[in-house]
Chain A
Amino acid sequence: MLANTIEFLKANPLLLALIKILIVFGVLSGIVAYLVYLERKVLAFMQARLGPMRVGPWGLLQPVADGLKLLLKEDIIPAGADEWLFLLAPAISVFAAFTVFSAVPFAGNFYVTDINIGLLFILAVSSLGIYGIILGGWSSNSHYPLLGALRSSAQLVSYEVAAGVALVGVLLISNSLSMVDIVNRQLQMGVWNVFLQPLAFVIYVIAAVAETNRNPFDLPEAESELTAGFHTEYSGFRFALYFLAEYTNMVVVACIAVTLFFGGWLQPFVGVRALSLLRFTPFVSLIGAAAFVLWLGLKSWVPLERYFFVSLAAVCVVLAALVLYPPVLNAIQGIFWFGAKVLAFLYAFIWCRATFPRYRYDQLMNVGWRWMLPLALGNLVVTAVVRYLVGGHAAATQAAWLGR
């Protein structure tokens, strides 16, 4: 039966791709919903609050409640709005955000496609998302959305340049645009790109925060100045789409950063024998999660919550036991490390939001054009020169010149 299915899927690669797409889309939607929960919780803890606590145990059902609320809300199209564009704009944003994942390798053996121009594709598609914002802001026929849209277009264009140039440094090192090859190259070299291209990494991360319209660069939706920015006039499901797109974009930039700079699905210190015990990190983290959940359960007042947390801890322990089984352990290595790294990045984004105040607009532009772009260009030139001298190209070119 299983063998037959595998044969059938091999004969129909499109069907296999469709299944993968469905898995990725479904899992990502869930992750994005709970990313909002994570953000609210982490922000709350950093501000000495507790965050959502009332819907479900520790507010765990809050994303469901929010989703329901948004779906049931009245759908308003403002008078004088360009109706078609108004309806289309959020869809563009979501489409662009989710399409990117087709080229992201989640593990060495799990990705939708491996395009040989993967990174180019990702940058191209993710910058399409700006259209959603601009069109949404313009078609609303309202002042604040228009101002937000203008800000966001200027900001995204400025930072896209710096981010793109910074990423070229990585391309020079890895000799490929394919996301899978970039990771494999890091495996070959035995060192993550972040140690070879620290400057490019810093520039990319800053630009990524700016591109996802997040604090401290959230000027397009600066609520104290622009009500809500480009999505002021949106309500209900369309607003939910923008929201979804924004958080998906967060995951996108985290995925790109992890793949390009932090070795994607690779386990840290993969070549060092003394640290090969790191393979058991999934087991340890599951046990840790079980202990944490148990602690939460013992702390809670409501009996139902206590049962929920205790059973969740039991599930964690069972999973941990399952993970100890060698084939399973090997199978989840890639996705585990990728997920852990992406999660760390997302956490860092939230952390930044909790810490930094918003930039003024001229400061934002100053940083973008007068610091990020020159630094990225300098990084590119230095990388290119070093690559030329070290990579063996120099000798070849010299021979060609001298021979003439």
Chain B
Amino acid sequence: MSVKVFLRKIFLVDLVKGLRLTFSYQRPDATYTDQYPLERPPVAERYRGAPRLNNHPETGETLCIACNLCSIACPENLIVVGWARTEDRKKRLTTFTYDLSRCMFCGMCEDACPVDALELTQDFEIASYSRKGLIWDRQALEEGPQPTRYTR
């Protein structure tokens, strides 16, 4: 044992080093925890979460043209698109059902959509108290999940 090592042992240098490290972790910005319902963690840019049916930002009418492509693209067959013909024989969207309980968020439906009406958003708070609550109708899809949001 060299003198240096001996002195290190006597004066507990390694212990002091460890103490310094743990002490430095007390600075407020070192904290890793998110106060979840109060602040939301940022999700990844390409995260695929709750589905949404987009409306036209100005007119407020749905963008969906009821082409049924999403329903065909869905590997789980969980999308049901309901439509009616107008007088000039145009398809108009009437109902839209999306069964989240079976959804695996593969994103095929939003890829298939020719008018960007259906979109998997970054919302992740889609839990429900019942299985029925996971089957979203057109209104739920247009509104999206409505969690309480807190501000400072």
Contact = CB atoms under 8 A, between A and B. Distances in A.
Contacts of A46: 22-23, 25-26
Interface string B131-152: 0000000000000000000111
B31 interface: yes
Contacts of B15: 355-356
Contacts of B60: none
B150 A47 contact: no
A332 interface: no
B33 interface: yes
Contacts of A48: 25, 30-33
Contacts of A299: 152
Nearest to A348: B19
Contacts of B23: 46, 351
A355 B38 contact: no
Contacts of B22: 46, 351, 354-355
A351 B20 CA distance: 10
A43 to B, nearest CB: 9
Contacts of A45: 25-26, 30-31
Contacts of B26: 42, 45-46
B130 interface: no
Interface residues of B, number: 18
A46 B38 CA distance: 23
A299 B152 CA distance: 7
Given A351-B23, A354-B22, A356-B15, A49 B32 contact: yes
Contacts of B38: 301-302
Contacts of B21: 355
A49 B32 CA distance: 6
B59 interface: no
Contacts, number: 45
Interface string A50-84: 10010000000000000000000000000000000
Contacts of A226: none
Interface in B84-122: none
Nearest to A357: B18
B100 to A, nearest CB: 29
A53 B18 contact: no
B25 A50 contact: no
Nearest to A50: B33
B22, B31, B32, B35: which has the most chain A beta carbons within 10 Å? B22
B14 to A, nearest CB: 10
Given A45-B31, A46-B26, A50-B35, A355 B18 contact: yes
Contacts of A53: 35
Interface in A230-244: none
Interface string A343-385: 0000000011011100000000000000000000000000000
A46 B31 CA distance: 9
Contact of B31 (A50, A351, A355): A50
A303 to B, nearest CB: 10
Interface in B1-57: 15, 18-19, 21-23, 25-26, 30-33, 35, 38-39
A47 B25 contact: yes
A285 interface: no
A300 interface: yes
Given A298-B152, A356-B18, 4 more contacts: A45-B26, A49-B31, A300-B152, A355-B15
- The 10 A-B residue pairs with the shortest CB-CB distance, nearest first, are A301-B150, A301-B38, A45-B26, A50-B33, A46-B22, A355-B22, A48-B32, A355-B18, A354-B22, A46-B25
6 contacts: A42-B26, A45-B26, A46-B25, A48-B25, A48-B33, A302-B38
